[in-house]
Structure 1
Amino acid sequence: MTSITDRAHVARHRTPLNRSQIAGFWGAWAGWTLDGMDSFIYALVLTPALTELLPRSGYAATPANVGLAGSILFALFLIGWGLSFIWGPLADRFGRTKVLAGTIFTFAIFTGLSATAHNVWELAIFRFIAGVGIGGEWALAGTYVAEAWPEDRRKMGAGYLQTGYYAGFFLAAALNYTIGVHYGWRAMFLTGAVPVVVAILILLRVKEPEKWQKAEASTVHRKPLREILGPVYRRRTWVACALLTIAIIGLWAGAVYEPSAVIQLATRAGMARPDAIRTASIATGLLSISTVLGCLALPPLAERIGRKKTLAIYFAGMAVAIVGSFGWSFYMPNGLVPFIAWLCVLGFFGGNFALFSLWLPEQFETRVRATAFAFCTSFGRFVGAGVNFLLGAAVLNMHTLGIPVALTALAFVVGLFIIPFAPETKGEVLPQ
C-alpha cells in the first residue's frame, strides 16, 4: 500500500522539460504576449494616428471623423482576426512551429508597416492583414503547448500560456509611457515588428511535437474543416464555438468600456481629466493582474473538479461581476472604488480563457486539432464583433454605458445551460 509520503513525492515529481519544449513554450508565450501588446498599441495610438492621417486622406480630423474612422478600422481588424481560421488547416498539414512562426511573422511585419502609412487606407490594409496574423497565434500556440508538453504538465502550461496576453497590455503601456510619449505613434507601431525575432527563433530552435509527427506519418490527408463539421465532431465543435463566443463577448464588453467607465466615475468624483486618465490606467493594470491570477488558478481547479464545473464557476463569476460593476457600482453616487473592486473580480473570472487553451486540444485528435481550435476561436470573434457593435449602438442610443454592458451578463447565464452539452475530459490523456 502506497504511503502518504510516497504519494506526495509522486505529486511533486513532474516530467522534466527538454530544451526544445522550454524554447517552444517561451516562443509561444512571447508571441501571445506580443499579440496582446499589438492589440493594445492600436488602442493607445488610434487618436494621434488618425488625427495625422485623416487630413492626408481628404477628411477633416474632427472628433466625429476620428471616431468613425476608428470604428471602421477596428471592424476591418476584427474581420481579419476572424479570417485567421485559415492557419488551422495549414498547421494540421505542415506543422505547428512553422505555421506558428508564420502567424507571428505576419502580424509583426504588418504592424511595423503601419508605421509607414501615408493615409487611412494604407493603415486599414496593414491592420487588416495584421489581424489575420494575430488571430491565428492563440490557436497555434495553445495547440503546440498541449502537444509538446508532457501529459502531467500540459494543463498548467495552458494557464501559463494565457498569462502572456495580459502581460502584453503592461508591455504596451510601458512602451507608450517611454517611447510613445517621446517619439509618437509611428515609433509605437515599429516596436510591433519585434516579434519577427521570435518567429525566427521558433523556426530555428524548436522541433515539431512528436504527437504531430506521428499523426502526420500515419494520416491519409483529408479536409480537416469538413471533418470537424462532420458527424464525429459536429456537436463538440458547435458547443465549443458557442462557449467561446460567450467568453469573447464578455472580454470585449469589459475591456472596451472599462477605461471609459473609470474615467466617467473619476470625473464624477471631482478628478481632473489627467488624473481620471491615470486612474483608468491603474484600474486597467489591476484588471490585468487579476486576470493573470485567474488564469493560474484555473488549471488546478479544472483538474480537481472537472472542466465543465470549472467553466460554470467562471461563467457565473463573470455574470455576477459584470452586473456588480456596470449594473450597480457604476450608478452609485461614489461608485469609483466599488467599481474598481468589482473589476478585480471581473478580471479574475475573465481568466476563463485559460480553460479553452487546456480543454479544446483535449476534444480533438491531432490530425484536426489546430483546425478545430482556429475555427472555434474565429467563429466566436465574428459573432463577438457583431455583438460589440450592437452594444456600441445601445450605448449611443441610451446615453449610458452601464446598463448595455451589464446586459452582457445574460450571455454567461445562457452559457451555463450550454456547458452540460460539452464533453468532460478530466482525467483523459490528449487524444492522438
Structure 2
Amino acid sequence: MDSVTDTGRARAARPAKTPLNRSQIAGFWGAWAGWTLDGMDSFIYALVLTPALTELLPRSGYEATPANVGLAGSILFALFLVGWGLSFIWGPLADRFGRTKVLACTIFTFAIFTGLSATAHNVWELAIYRFIAGVGIGGEWALAGTYVAEAWPEDRRKMGAGYLQTGYYAGFFLAAALNFTIGVHFGWRAMFLTGAVPVVIAILILTRVKESEKWQKAETNAVRARPMREIFGAKYQRRTWVACALLTIAIIGLWAGAVYEPSAVIQLATRAGFGKADATKIASLATGLLSIGTILGCLALPPMAERIGRKMTLAVYFAGMAVTIALSFGWAFYLPNGLVPFIAILFVLGFFGGNFALFSLWLPEQFETRVRATAFAFCTSFGRFVGAGVNFLLGAAVLNMHTLGIPVALTAVVFVLGLFIIPFAPETKGKTLPQ
C-alpha cells in the first residue's frame, strides 16, 4: 500500500506539461504536414524513377537501357540535391522576415514544381522542375524545426522535435501507399501530381499561424544581424562546421538507405521469381516498413537524448546505421534468398535513420534566435551539396561495378568516421533554448 501511495505522490509532484495554445497547435500541424508532404515528394522520385526515365529518355534522344536509366537517374537526383543545397537562402530570409511567411513560401515552391514535373516532355524539363522543387523542399526542414523549437514551451519542445521528424517518414509511407495504388494503376505522372497538394498547407500557415514570440522579441530588440557572417565568427565557427559534418554523414546515409532501397528490393524480388507488378508492390511494402521503423526511431530519440545526452544518443544511432547498412546491402543483398532478410534488416535500419530527429532538437539549442534559422539552413544545405556529389559517385560506381549492393554498403564507413567527430560537438543536455 505504501509503495502505491508513494507512486501516486510522485505522479502528483510531477509538474504538468505547459498547455499548447491554438496557434502553437496549428503551427505544429502545419509544419508537420508540410514536412510529411516534403518527405512524400522526395521519395516519389525514387519510386517512379524507372518508369519516368524509361518514357522520357527516348524522347530526349537516348536509349532507355538499364545503364542509361541508372546514370540519368543519378544525375537528376544529384541536381535535385544541389537544389536542396541552394535552399540555404531561406535561412537568412526567415531570420529577417519571420518563420511562418518564409516556411509557406518554401512549401509553395516545392508543391508547384513537383506538380509541374507531371507535365515533363523530356529529361531536361524534368531536371529543371526537380531542381527548383529541391530548393523549396530543402528549406522546409530548417524552418519547420526552427519554428517548433521557438514556438513550443521549453518543457515540450524536445518531444516536439521528435514528433516533427516523424512527418518526413510518414511522407515515405504515404508515397509508398500512393505508389501501391495510384502509381501502379495511373503511372508516374499521377504520382507527381499528388505532390501539388501541399499548397493547401502553405495557405493554412499563412492565415492561421502566428510568428514565434522568441523571433518577435529578437526582431524588436536586436540590432540588424548579419547571420551568415555571424555563424562563422569566433563564437559559432566550430559548432557550425561540426554540425555541417555530422549532418553530411546523416544525409549520405539517408540517401544510401532510402533512395536505393526500392531498387534493391525490386532486384531481390525479381531474383526471387516475382513479376514486375508484384516486385513494385513489394518495394512499396518494404518502404512502408522502413518508414514505420524510422518513425519509431524518431519517437524514441528525444527521451534517450534527455537521459544520456545529445552526443551519446547520436553515437548510438550512427553506430546502428553503420551496422545495418553494411548488413543489408553488403550481406543480405547477395544471399541466394535475400529478400526476407534484407527487408527485416531494413526495418532496423529505418529505426536508426531516425537520427535526423536529433538535429531538429539539437541544432536550435546551439544558436541564438537572431541566427538560428540561418545556421539550421546552412548546415543542412552543406550536407546536401556533399550528398549530391556522393550520390553521383554512387551512381558511377553502380554502373562500373554492375552491382548495387557493395557501393551502397561502403557508405557505412562514413558513420564510423562520424563517431570520431561527435566528441567535438557541444553537449546541450539540460540547457534551455538560447534567446
TMscore range, shorter length: over 0.9
1:353 to 2:353 alignment: no
| Counterpart for residue 298 of structure 2 | 295
| Counterpart for residue 74 of structure 1 | 77
Distance verdict in 2 for CA 1:99–1:410, change over 3 Å: same
| Counterpart for residue 206 of structure 1 | 209
| Counterpart for residue 154 of structure 1 | 157
* Residue of structure 1 aligned with 2:426, choices 404, 423, 427: 423
Kindly tell me the number of residue pairs found equivalent between the two proteins: 430
* Residue of structure 2 aligned with 1:266, choices 258, 266, 269: 269
Distance verdict in 2 for CA 1:10–1:414, change over 3 Å: farther
Distance 1:428 1:209 in 2: 19
1:334 to 2:351 alignment: no
Distance verdict in 2 for CA 1:136–1:256, change over 3 Å: same
1:129 partner amino acid: I
Name the % identity. Answer: 87
SS in 2 for 1:222: coil
| Counterpart for residue 172 of structure 2 | 169
1:160 partner amino acid: Y
Distance 2:271 2:123 in 1: 35
| Counterpart for residue 304 of structure 1 | 307
Distance 1:390 1:22 in 2: 42
Distance verdict in 2 for CA 1:304–1:72, change over 3 Å: same
| Counterpart for residue 373 of structure 1 | 376
| Counterpart for residue 114 of structure 1 | 117
| Counterpart for residue 414 of structure 1 | 417
| Counterpart for residue 3 of structure 2 | none
Distance 2:305 2:180 in 1: 38
Deviations 1:43-81 (A, max 9, x none): 233333334444444445454544443333222211111
Deviations 1:199-256 (A, max 9, x none): 1110100000000000010111121011001111000000000111111111111112
1:128 partner amino acid: F
In the alignment, structure 2 segments of 5+ residues that lack a partner are 1-5
Show structure 1 runs of 4+ deviating over 6 A: none
| Counterpart for residue 218 of structure 1 | 221
- Relative to structure 2, which stretch is displaced further, 179-188 or 75-84? 179-188
Distance verdict in 2 for CA 1:56–1:285, change over 3 Å: same
Distance 2:53 2:411 in 1: 30
| Counterpart for residue 28 of structure 1 | 31
Distance verdict in 2 for CA 1:10–1:83, change over 3 Å: farther
SS in 1 for 2:154: coil
| Counterpart for residue 322 of structure 2 | 319
Distance verdict in 2 for CA 1:113–1:264, change over 3 Å: closer
Kindly state the Cα deviation for residue 313 of structure 1 after the two structures are TM-superposed.
Answer: 0.8
Deviations 1:5-27 (A, max 9, x none): 44423546211100000000000
SS in 1 for 2:18: coil
Distance verdict in 2 for CA 1:145–1:167, change over 3 Å: same
Kindly state the Cα deviation for residue 412 of structure 1 after the two structures are TM-superposed.
Answer: 1.0
1:327 partner amino acid: G
2:421 partner amino acid: I
- Relative to structure 2, which stretch is displaced further, 108-117 or 205-214? 108-117
C-alpha contact 2:74 2:391 (8 A) present in aligned 1: no
| Counterpart for residue 47 of structure 1 | 50
1:20 partner amino acid: S
SS in 1 for 2:238: helix
1:103 to 2:141 alignment: no
Deviations 1:304-328 (A, max 9, x none): 1110111111111111112222222
Distance verdict in 2 for CA 1:118–1:376, change over 3 Å: same
- Relative to structure 2, which stretch is displaced further, 199-208 or 72-81? 72-81
C-alpha contact 2:142 2:376 (8 A) present in aligned 1: yes
Deviations 1:291-310 (A, max 9, x none): 10000000001011110111
Distance 1:51 1:402 in 2: 23
C-alpha contact 2:154 2:433 (8 A) present in aligned 1: yes
Distance 2:331 2:56 in 1: 40
2:95 partner amino acid: D
2:309 partner amino acid: G
Distance 2:344 2:304 in 1: 23
Distance 1:195 1:305 in 2: 37
Kindly state the Cα deviation for residue 401 of structure 1 after the two structures are TM-superposed.
Answer: 2.6
SS in 2 for 1:14: coil
- Relative to structure 2, which stretch is displaced further, 84-93 or 181-190? 181-190
| Counterpart for residue 344 of structure 1 | 347
TM-score by length of 2: 0.93
Distance 1:346 1:64 in 2: 28
1:415 partner amino acid: G
Kindly state the Cα deviation for residue 188 of structure 1 after the two structures are TM-superposed.
Answer: 2.5
| Counterpart for residue 282 of structure 1 | 285
SS in 2 for 1:116: coil
1:358 partner amino acid: L
Kindly state the Cα deviation for residue 415 of structure 1 after the two structures are TM-superposed.
Answer: 0.8
Kindly state the Cα deviation for residue 410 of structure 1 after the two structures are TM-superposed.
Answer: 1.4
C-alpha contact 2:31 2:164 (8 A) present in aligned 1: yes
1:79 partner amino acid: V
- Relative to structure 2, which stretch is displaced further, 361-370 or 60-69? 60-69
Root mean square deviation, CA, Å: 1.9
Distance verdict in 2 for CA 1:180–1:317, change over 3 Å: closer
C-alpha contact 2:53 2:64 (8 A) present in aligned 1: yes
